[in-house]
Chain A
Amino acid sequence: MSYIGKPKVAHPKMPKNDLGLTARDYEGTVSTLCAGCGHDSVTAAIVQAVFELNIEPHMLAKMSGIGCSSKTPAYFVSGAHGFNSVHGRMPSVTTGANAANRSLMYIGVSGDGDSLSIGAGQFVHAIRRNLNMCYIIENNGVYGLTKGQFSASADIGSKPKKGEPNQQEPIDPVSTALSLGATYIARSFSGDKEQLVPLIQGALLHEGFSLVDVISPCVTFNDHEGSTKSYAHTRQFYHHVVDADFVPPAEEIKAAYAKGSAMPVELHDGSKIVLRKVDEQYDPTSRASAFKYLRERFNAGEITTGLLYMDESRQEMHDLMGNTRTPMCQLPLESLNPGAGELKKILNRYR
């Protein structure tokens, strides 16, 4: 399959964002994924999220590993810089990229295989560093690109197209991230764009590590009866517990919320996320209670979705280290050494 340029003819009436760009300007090359693949819907949600946030395309860095999911950065925001790395190693590349230039916005797209098996170590450590990035896992329970082997997120009892059902405990990215102290954790479904778009927007603007675990069915290898990551299964068992509305910096919160259920949280750039609790008992600011709730619902066979945990108080990687606000890559080389005279003094210590 080769590179297909997509003609960018925007209808004159297409809405424009503050930069004068249309949603078209945030698209990428034509997807080469299977028709109906959940990943394409996530791509569409990313396009909308970035368009609405008025992000300058070249200030966005799209990072990925290897897999069908990891291919998708080619299919959105072609004006952004992309880095399609090696299998399971997107987090380290993003860590280094961010270390060098903290002024860019980082969106990483990964798969359940990419993040929970080969790349589990890097996934875990990016969270631990509170790397400032939006990390999306397009979770389909299988390795799509290598033709349907179970991944580590496959549920017990989930049936493959051929062979025995899975018997091993699944690794749940959400509870993993929760236990590791991730500061923004959301789960959604590729088929629920309305829920997904604001979750991605909040994730992009949150300062620190944001995880968006998206159930994104693989129509070719894991959408059959008996699969717990199929469209049908997800639609039947998924529940919104906390929805999120995204409110840009200058805007007022307009929507009328039922008393007691709405919880506005201010992000670092002044925008707000309004958490709408669908389930009154849920506390998205308490790790312990979120964990308990998630486990209980999981045991009941439910897929809990929404903005499940948020902590705006923790410092991200650079601030934890006390690094300069100026991107490292923009520091002039000449300013980075103490000169020939000082070298003489340093050498005197070795005589």
Chain B
Amino acid sequence: MATVNDVVVKIATVNGTGSASANGLLMKSIFRMGIPVVGKNYFPSNIQGLPTWYEIRVTGDGYQSRSDRVDIMVAMNAQTYARDLADVSSGGWLLYDSTWPRHKQLDRDDVTVLGVPLSRMCNENFDGARARILMKNIAYVGVVAALLDIDLDIITTLLEETFADKKHLVDSNMKAIRLGYDYARENFVCPLACKVEAMDGTSGHIVIDGNTAAGLGCMYAGATVGAWYPITPSTSLMDAFRSFCSRYRTDPKTGERTYCIIQAEDELAAIGMVLGAAWNGARSFTPTSGPGISLMSEFIGFAYYAEIPAVIFNVQRTGPSTGMPTRTQQSDILSCAYASHGDTRHVLLFPKDPKECFEMAQSAFDYAERLQTPVIVMSDLDIGMNDWMVPDFEFDENVVRDRGKVLSAEQLEEMEKFYRYMDVDGDGIPYRTLPGVHPKGSYFTRGSGHTRHGAYTEDSAAYQDVVDRLLVKWETARQTLPEAEFEVSRFNKAGLLTIGSGDGACVEARDRLAAQKINLDYCRVRAFPFSDAVKEFIDQHEVVYVVEQNRDAQLRSLLLLDAGVDPAKLVPLLHYNGMPLNAGFVVDRVLEEVARGRAA
């Protein structure tokens, strides 16, 4: 079937061979042609020598999730050849390096195999072992460009931008690309039946990963203290913050920095540093992943009870334990919502893509300071480390950020006496002071039992007074946090509900189901505690399919616990194999449920 701007190219390589830049080049060139793209990187927890895949989905319709098919497989890794061939959708193509013979017995008669002697061409044209390997990977870009009809001028421009003042690198890369391009044009019918065509679908958009976006957001939020311990897939968040700060937060004359990044000895220390800094009034944050959250739990509970703002980015990966560090999941929902011993609960934000990572990186500090409590931004590997095409970020310089209830020296001067944990305004949020501001502001911060006046206590009533007031604050949080996104029609009996990176697949699944006359309403939750509107959405439908990326239906459990909805209504749709969610999974599962007689 001939298609335009609807094709999936999957590239199988070995990590550490420079394929990442080749794949990025391919994706960017399609984006520059004005065609929406999705890029997904499936990489091993390893530095060099293991299989890695990159999937480029060209989607003229602008869908955001990965596809469930592979039209063109670029099989550059002999180790995975068999499974790569098996992955190709019927009617698709497989491209391989024909310098060496391949297993003929693996042939599929529904897949067209295209052999290009990439190694031989590169060996003849380039010197040095390393250069030959790198160029072989660049050469397949040329083959794919010819097969799909990607504009070579755009590729040249991109190379020129990348290697700004290294013309020889532009030339050698272009030479390799041309080798592949010309070979394909001479030996195959180019372009293939599925090809790309310039369109106007990307203006006002960028291609960026969520960690870079969050790091940028932290810089724009005015964060000054960042403490962290490296862990995949969160590491690049602090890398991004550091690189933006070194550019924009370093005095050009004196070299003085207005940011302080501390690589902590472990996550226990990282969160301790965040609390110390926040207690002193700095916007401070830590990026981490599941294992880090486990280590931070004691302090997260401390921050809840002593009421200290803290911003934590949990870029979730596949658990339990070390799990699969380079695969994605949404499996820390419960452990974050209730991190720590005792009665604790924490504010969670669920960004759906890098744009929301940028926005929520900023609002997370506002909520943390307003609510005087930890706020955990629940990103995941799919959002954090993959390139997403998203609308341009916006920043309104006139917006005054919310620093919460912090008493100034003047306010303290006027006061008779300051008490730390009094609910003066009835919203459950007390006033706080910052050390060093005014003698009347001093108080003793503790995680042990305390009264509303901030004094140590073991008195039942005085203890209970404070923990009950924290529940009032929780209700304030419910009213304050970002509202969910809804798409509701009066006629639908069933709804789809998801969070974060589940959005793209759900949006696409709704379209595909609608084409089969199955119409579902939609709710994308953006924060915990859940708003009243989320509860109403569930109450108003007969069935709500809860789509999430973990085995134990953690979001569903949280909805039952916090929103008090009818369990019979919530049908779990669970995807937890470590790969990003795709629409096909959602469609199939909904159809199964409908076939069993559930409402649609």
Contact = CB atoms under 8 A, between A and B. Distances in A.
B343 interface: no
B395 A92 contact: no
Interface in B238-293: 244, 248-249, 251, 255-260, 262, 264-266, 268-284
Contacts, number: 230
Interface string B381-395: 000000000001111
Given A79-B439, A93-B273, A99-B277, A351 B206 contact: yes
A318 B224 CA distance: 13
A96 B282 CA distance: 9
Contacts of A103: 436
Interface stretch (A151-159, A213-221, A233-241, A331-339): A331-339
A3 to B, nearest CB: 4
Interface string A306-325: 00000000000010011111
A263 to B, nearest CB: 34
B446 A84 contact: yes
A83 B244 CA distance: 32
Contact of A96 (B223, B274, B434): B274
Contacts of B255: 322
Interface in A92-121: 92-101, 103-104, 121
A78 B251 contact: no
Contacts of B259: 328
Contacts of B448: 84
B260 A122 contact: no
A349 B442 CA distance: 47
A59 interface: yes
Contact of B442 (A79, A336, A338, A339): A79
Contact of B280 (A80, A329, A331, A333): A329
Given A3-B457, A333-B222, A57 B395 contact: no
B49 interface: no
A85 B225 contact: no
B438 interface: yes
A26 B500 CA distance: 52
Interface stretch (A38-46, A242-250, A340-348): A340-348
Given A81-B443, A321-B257, A340 B277 contact: no
A103 to B, nearest CB: 6
A96 B277 contact: yes
Contact of B299 (A1, A89, A351): A89
Given A2-B457, A58-B442, A328-B282, A99 B32 contact: no
A323 B260 contact: yes
A350 B206 contact: yes
Given A58-B441, A93-B276, A337-B219, A328 B258 contact: yes
Given A2-B457, A86-B299, A121-B265, A78 B442 contact: yes
Contact of B276 (A57, A98, A350): A98
A204 B262 CA distance: 23
Nearest to B220: A337
Contacts of A57: 439, 442
B456 interface: yes
A158 to B, nearest CB: 30
Interface residues of A, number: 64
A323 B32 CA distance: 40
Contacts of B396: 340
Contact of B279 (A73, A83, A91, A121): A83
Contacts of B410: none
A298 to B, nearest CB: 27
B284 to A, nearest CB: 6
B265 A343 contact: no
Contact of A329 (B220, B224, B298, B302): B224
A74 interface: yes
A324 B281 CA distance: 16
A55 to B, nearest CB: 12
A96 B208 contact: no
Interface string B221-236: 1111101000000000
B224 A328 contact: yes
B258 A324 contact: yes
B376 interface: no
A56 interface: yes
B108 interface: no
Q: Which of B221, B280, B284 has the most CB of A within 10 A?
A: B280
Interface string B471-507: 0000000000000000000000000000000000000
B216 interface: yes
Contacts of A98: 276
Contact of A59 (B260, B265, B403, B436): B436
A230 to B, nearest CB: 29
Contacts of B227: 92, 95-96, 99
B397 interface: yes
Contacts of A94: 276
Contacts of A61: 435-436
A89 B395 contact: no
B429 interface: no
A26 B392 CA distance: 56
A141 interface: no
Most B CB atoms within 10 A — which of A57, A58, A92, A322? Answer: A92
B265 A101 contact: no
A292 interface: no
A89 B268 contact: yes
A318 B269 CA distance: 18
A233 B251 CA distance: 56
A219 B124 CA distance: 84
A151 to B, nearest CB: 20
A125 interface: yes
B269 A125 contact: yes
A58 B459 contact: no
A191 interface: no
Interface string B185-227: 0000000000000000000011110001000100111111101
B435 A101 contact: yes
B551 to A, nearest CB: 31
A337 B435 contact: no
Given A61-B435, A101-B280, A340-B396, 16 more contacts: A73-B444, A83-B444, A91-B272, A95-B276, A96-B275, A97-B280, A99-B225, A99-B260, A99-B284, A100-B260, A103-B436, A104-B280, A324-B257, A328-B259, A329-B434, A342-B248
16 contacts: A57-B442, A83-B276, A85-B272, A89-B268, A95-B227, A96-B227, A96-B279, A100-B278, A101-B281, A122-B272, A318-B260, A324-B256, A326-B258, A327-B280, A337-B248, A351-B207
Question: 6 tightest A-B contacts by CB?
Answer: A92-B272, A96-B276, A96-B273, A100-B282, A97-B276, A3-B455
